[in-house]
Amino acid sequence: MSLLHDYSYVLGFLIIGAGFVIVNTLLPLLISPRSRGANAQNPYESGEVPIGGAWVQFDVNYYLFGLIFLAFDVEAAFLFPVLIVFKEFGFAAFYEVTLFLALLSLAILYAWKKGLFSWR
């Protein structure tokens, strides 16, 4: 119940934020003048006409970062519950967390070795 209560606030705030945006983007439609130039709606590219559209296959480097991030972020999310109760357990918890972190670090080392960080 309390959870629902809390998150109804979140929903409410999201709606109010969205409403703010909608009002602010509808208002100019009423009060702003229009321009009628021939190229007004063409995509901007330094004053030139673009060659080909922008929807292209993009360099794979960025996607690799996406993959490694996914692994990391989920692991980090697992770690938080452990850390909250960390003080209550002894050194056993410490060893487990260390092992976990070491495994995580291996992921970076692997990516490093594979040349993810050298773009040239």
CB of 116 to another protein, least distance (A): 8
**Is residue 97 within 8 Å of 79, Cβ to Cβ?**
yes
Residue 54 backbone phi and psi in degrees, to 5: -90, -10
CB of 101 to another protein, least distance (A): 5
Query: Mapping DSSP to helix (H, G, I), strand (E, B) and coil, where does residue 30 land?
Result: helix
Rounded to whole angstroms, the Cα distance separating 84 from 79 reads: 9
CB of 17 to another protein, least distance (A): 3
**Is residue 97 within 8 Å of 82, Cβ to Cβ?**
yes
The DSSP element (H or E) to which 23 belongs, if any, is: helix 2-31
CB of 86 to another protein, least distance (A): 5
Rounded to whole angstroms, the Cα distance separating 70 from 64 reads: 10
